[in-house]
Amino acid sequence: MDQPVAIITGAGRGIGRATAIELSKLGYRLALLARTESELRETERAARSALILPTDVTAPAAIQAAVDATMKEFGRIDAAIHCAGLAPVVSIAEMSVEDWHAVIDTNLSAAFYLARSVWPVFAKQRSGVIVNVSSQSARDPFSGFAAYGAAKAGVNLFGLSAAREGAAIGVRVHTIAPGAVETGMFRKIVSAEQFGTDRTLDPADVAKVIAQCVVGDLRYSSGEVIYLQKTL
């Protein structure tokens, strides 16, 4: 019961999976959230042991149920990390209302749902860490990234406001905004010929920065946006 616990969205692949692996090395027990159970099982094997919670992060009741299940299993939550993302490249003229809401809900609304659900736990504990994964698209989006860039800009400001509210109860909120990361989601947008692997970040490197936020090495960055970019 003394082992810390982290709940991670988007844990089936990419940055979420890498974060699960990194935190497992640091002794964290894990609750893993994503839509696809088979991908969560792969992360579970890589991270050695975890609570698997197939979850639609755009549904607030599903997020609350996952938090409740985590508390029932572990009795505590020390960190909540929102890695789930959706990044279609769609022009404003071609984007449907449904497309817009899907991007906003996955990237931004889900960050709020997760924070709202863990907040009473953190308030009772008088401690807790939230890390939200944003993007450099928040300040410099590709063409066709109107929804994604807007959602990530919202994540940045949500993190600042949440950090100010959380300070009174010992809660830190960090925002990590990487550039291009070598993930399946990125490769659906840009091919290796268009953007070489020598220019992309490794998800494991992003996960290490997330872990630094969680364990407190970067505790003085609460409320700030930490931009990550690979330099050649």
* Tokens describing residue 81: 């990390």
* Phi-psi sector, 27: left (phi>0), alpha (psi -120 to 50), beta: left
- Among residues 117, 135, 152, 221, which one is catalytic? 152
96 an active-site residue? no
- Among residues 134, 135, 137, 221, which one is catalytic? 134
188 an active-site residue? no
72 an active-site residue? no
CA distances from 44 to 37, 52, 166 (A): 10, 8, 30
Contacts 24+ apart (CB under 8 A), 58-64: 58/102, 58/105, 58/106, 58/109, 58/110, 60/113, 60/116, 60/117, 63/33, 63/110, 63/113, 63/114, 63/117, 64/113, 64/117
Give the catalytic positions in this structure.
Answer: 134, 148, 152
